[in-house]
Structure 1
């Protein structure tokens, strides 16, 4: 998806129409030409390396948590992902959603699975940008970073397509690139730190499950930012009604429940979820 690439440079529009925009079209065309030239060089000279890891795990929902099990017997919990539920007033019959809704509840006895992944296209990016900046070529350094971000997102999209086929429901999709950009497929891949699951600390569980650093070289910082920056991680949900949503504001009652489930203090939860609180923690 090239559109976010142009947004990086402050050009608002949708690719490929932006190339013919009456105002920014010429600038967009020049950027695109420079990008494809550098991309060809990156491929030709192996300047960036993409690495990824993913796995499927037996899973069931327990309230707003999703338990992952060591095997199909589902007697031993391997890890737990903790989710939050929308609390703001919904119009009509619109439900208050949690990502846990898209996994079969444990009490139903239905076997379900959750996919987990982490990918990067940023191995070698730091060194490449340092070379450009050492030659006083900041433009190419920024261009390389923008391309690496697009490659990481493309890697995530490509892997998700492969996963849907392996999972047994996506082999016959026949979707175009535009269809993929518009997410016209079954399933979602939400990422910790984004609107449906805004708690970045859930990345810690993901990293331990897949041994991400050992398998890819990707790391998470103390603030749970991913390194290299051109990286994507998240969860695969296969439920046909799964969808993205914005958590919105949550109250003290849910924070109290969440801190117990997470084994964190209330202050820690409030720090990580600050923008999503419907109250002032200092009051």
Structure 2
């Protein structure tokens, strides 16, 4: 049986205020550390949720007992890709996730104009459970592919080029 899901998690609420407090007290080190730690917690939260889904909620790997090294090497079944990364380079897909999961209303995470998540220290993406699911990079696309993509998305060619600029082969 295959499973597919979507998620958004955050550990970022209050981090900006705490970092600003440190900065105002000339403690740049603590400001940097609070942001870095919040980012790591958000990634850990996403990974923990993925583990819970694999073992308890969807239960397709109930016997999973991986070491920390195995988890880091992603030796578990399935993948956790995210919009804006090589396998899913189009940040516009975050809008679909936000609508599907009702993210803003449910947990308060918003998308900025540039589709960054606010607060920072938030992670969103997809869960795919197929045992053959593997990460891959999209690579470079040519103008004919960009034109086709923009038509299918219902967006202008200029907008498609903006969001896929790192993948466009000129």
- Shorter-chain TM-score bucket reads over 0.9
Deviation at 1:168, TM superposition (A): 2.2
Matching residue within 146, 152, 173 for 2:42: 152
Greater displacement, 181-190 / 127-136: 127-136
Matched, 1:208 2:99: yes
Deviation at 1:171, TM superposition (A): 1.8
1:115 is matched with which residue?
5
Q: Given the two structures, how large is their TM-score scaled by the length of structure 1?
A: 0.58
Matched, 1:164 2:54: yes
Following the alignment from structure 1 to structure 2, what is the Cα–Cα distance between the partners of residues 178 and 215? 33
Question: Do the aligned residues in 2 keep the contact of 1:161 with 1:170 (CA within 8 Å)?
Answer: no
1:140 is matched with which residue?
30
Following the alignment from structure 2 to structure 1, what is the Cα–Cα distance between the partners of residues 74 and 2? 23
Please tell me the root mean square deviation across aligned C-alpha atoms, in Å.
1.2
Following the alignment from structure 2 to structure 1, what is the Cα–Cα distance between the partners of residues 49 and 136? 22
* Secondary structure, counterpart of 2:12 in structure 1: strand
Which runs of 5 or more residues in structure 1 are unaligned?
1-110
1:251 is matched with which residue?
142
Question: Do the aligned residues in 1 keep the contact of 2:2 with 2:129 (CA within 8 Å)?
Answer: no
Following the alignment from structure 2 to structure 1, what is the Cα–Cα distance between the partners of residues 38 and 97? 22
Compare CA radii of gyration and give the structure with the larger one: 1
Q: Deviations over 1:54-113 (max 9, x none)?
A: xxxxxxxxxxxxxxxxxxxxxxxxxxxxxxxxxxxxxxxxxxxxxxxxxxxxxxxxx854
Q: Deviations over 1:171-227 (max 9, x none)?
A: 211011221111010000100000011000100000011110111111101110011
2:124 is matched with which residue?
233
Matched, 1:271 2:162: yes
* Secondary structure, counterpart of 1:164 in structure 2: helix
Count of residues paired in the alignment: 169
1:104 is matched with which residue?
none
1:199 is matched with which residue?
90
Which runs of 5 or more residues in structure 2 are unaligned?
none
Matched, 1:184 2:75: yes
Deviation at 1:114, TM superposition (A): 2.1
More helix by share: 2
1:217 is matched with which residue?
108
Q: Given the two structures, how large is their TM-score scaled by the length of structure 2?
A: 0.95
